[in-house]
Every structure is written in structure tokens, then in C-alpha cells.
Amino acid sequence: MENTEENKGSAAIRPLRFDIPVLGFAAWSGTGKTTLLVKLLPLLRLQGLRIGMIKQTHHDFEIDVPGKDSYELRKAGASQMLLASEKRSALITEYESPAALPLSALVKQLDLANLDLVLVEGFRHLPFDKIELHRPSTGREPVFPHDGSVIAVASDEKIDTSGLPLLNINSAEEIAGFINRWRDYWRAERG
């Protein structure tokens, strides 16, 4: 059975497999995913890791500017627009109809030959390794009891994690260490 949004609730779904370590950060809105990732990225970069990021959003967004050539070319009918300079590039893809692109397809859009790790913010319902961020003060129930792909829980309180590693959500250093151990395990498992 293929892992799609349509069958994500099926018990028969196998975990997503990638050719590179892909680790998600799952949490309810307002828990601090982006705040933590902004602290984690420099720590992981200091260890020499080249990191790709994928961030899911449920809102329409525009990264191009009306009046710029790239914007006008897209609006004139370009399905994809690759904007490139000496310092960076950005691929903007227009979809014919609203559709959620599968995470595996998004990962493949990255230049994997130049990455060591991909971190994902969002896609919490998909079956791939992820760290759940949980703050009991939000009043939300944790996800990990119902999601076998959560490999650790980061929280600001001591909570029962049913045997999963409990990380301090306020210690980016501790979480970076966990990510490195997980990445080593991922690489050893795939030989």
C-alpha cells in the first residue's frame, strides 16, 4: 500500500523510506517547532552537517514579488520558475489544482548529493521518524501514544513517554546530540 494522504489512517501503512536521513518535528501549532529548529540548525552546522529543511504550511503563500520578472513569467503561464543568482536559487512550482505533494516527492526535489540530513517541520500524520514536541501546559494530548513513528519526545516537563527517550525541549544541545546518534543509527541500519 502506498503512503498517501488518502490512506494515512490505515494500519497497513509502512513507514516512509528515504535515501537520506529525514527526521520530522511534530507538534501542535504554537509549541515552538520553528523556535527550536532555529536553535538546532547552527549547532548541527557546527558539526559539519549540511542540512535541508522542509516546512509544511496550511496557508497559501507567495515568495515572489509582483512586478518582478520572475513573478510576471509565472503569472504568464510558467508551471515552474527557477530563480537563480550567484548565492542562491529557488524553485517555485505552480499546481493546476490544490494538492498536497507527497513528502517523498518534496525530499526528492532537494539536492540530496549535497545534504547529510533533512529536517521536516510538519507532516505529523505521516509515518516517518520524528521527534514530538510536547508542552503539557498547552492542554493538548501528546501524539506519540497513537503514532509509532515518534522516536523521542521533547518536553518542558517530566512526562511518561512509554519508554521513548525524553528530551528537554529547552536544550537544543541535548536534542542535537540525540539527532546525531539517530543519524548514526540510521546510516548503520542501511549499511
Spatial distance between the Cα atoms of 2 and 168, rounded to a whole number of angstroms: 35
Name the nearest CA neighbour of 25 among 15, 16, 36, 14: 36
93 beta partners: 80
Reported as a single tens digit per residue, the pLDDT across 146-158 is: 999 999 999 999 9
Model confidence at 191: pLDDT above 80? no
Question: Where are the chain's structural domains?
Answer: 20-56+100-190
Q: How much of the chain, in percent, has pLDDT values that exceed 90? A: 60
Reported as a single tens digit per residue, the pLDDT across 113-142 is: 999 999 999 888 899 999 999 999 999 999
pTM here is: 0.85
| pLDDT for 14 | 67
CATH topology of domain 20-56+100-190: Rossmann fold (3.40.50)
Reported as a single tens digit per residue, the pLDDT across 69-111 is: 888 888 888 888 888 899 988 888 877 776 667 899 899 999 9
Mean pLDDT of the chain: 87
